Amino acid sequence: MHAPVTPHARTHPPVTRTRRREDRVLGELRRVLAGAAGVPLDLLGDGPVRDRVEAAARVDALARELVERMRGAGWDEGAAPSAVTSVLAASVPEAETVLLRAARARR
């Protein structure tokens, strides 16, 4: 005989619609930033990027910072350009487009 199966306690917060939406935005931003030649990764961190793992970690941190800026601005569409330039120290139209699309979806 087998012991009765008991439900496991949640070890992570439940996935909400907002969280899934932000995860999609993070994924899109990571893709855009990884391919953007104009993003100065060496200047946006503690020093030069030494390998792919470090580059991926830096891209992830920048994407998260962009989402945090937009969240702090209440996902206002007008905040997208300034969020991008303040976080990336450059205008990256593709990243602005991702943020604008996400802000519009929240209306």
Residue 45, pLDDT score: 83
Residue 30, pLDDT score: 95
Residues of the chain with pLDDT under 50: none
Residue 6, pLDDT score: 55
Residue 38, pLDDT score: 74
Q: What whole-number distance in Å separates Cα of residue 2 and Cα of residue 50?
A: 52
Q: What whole-number distance in Å separates Cα of residue 22 and Cα of residue 4?
A: 37
Residue 72, pLDDT score: 96
What one-character-per-residue DSSP string does 65-90 give? Answer: HHHHHHHHTTT-GGGHHHHHHHHHSS
